[in-house]
Amino acid sequence: MKITCENGHSFEKSSNCKVCPTCSANEHKDHEFLQHFSTPAQRALVQAGITSIENLKSAPFNDLIKLHGIGRTTIIKFKELLNQ
Ligand SMILES: [Zn+2]
């Protein structure tokens, strides 16, 4: 039986678990990315829609550093992550 999750991924429902595998993988990835930052920085990033390294790469750096909650430590971390 095919199921489509609220984010539009379709997947085969094999067990009683109705968690979308694509969504749960993405959530895990987002969680890992955000763990690099302090709580205020995490909040600012989520609000700005930046929850992955891909988002960070495509965001204008000068706008990122102006976000409320983004301090010097976070900016250093951004640079580390972007240089990886
Ligand atoms: Zn999904």
| pLDDT tens digits along 15-71 | 666 788 888 888 877 788 999 999 999 999 999 999 989 999 999 999 999 999 999
- 37-84, CATH topology level: DNA polymerase; domain 1 (1.10.150)
Q: State the distance from the centre of ligand 1 to the C-alpha of 58, rounded, in angstroms.
A: 23
CATH 1.10.150 domain residues, the chain: 37-84
Centre of ligand 1 to C-alpha 71, Å, is 33
Long-range Cβ contacts of 63-66 (<8 Å, 24+ apart): none
* Integer CA distances (angstroms), 73 to 30, 63, 70, in order: 20, 16, 8
Q: Which residue is associated with the tokens 């595998």?
A: 21
Angle between helices 21-34 and 39-47 (to 10 degrees): 130
Compute, in angstroms, the gap from residue 17 CA to the centroid of ligand 1.
13
Report CA(48)–ligand 1 centroid distance (Å).
21
pTM of the model: 0.67
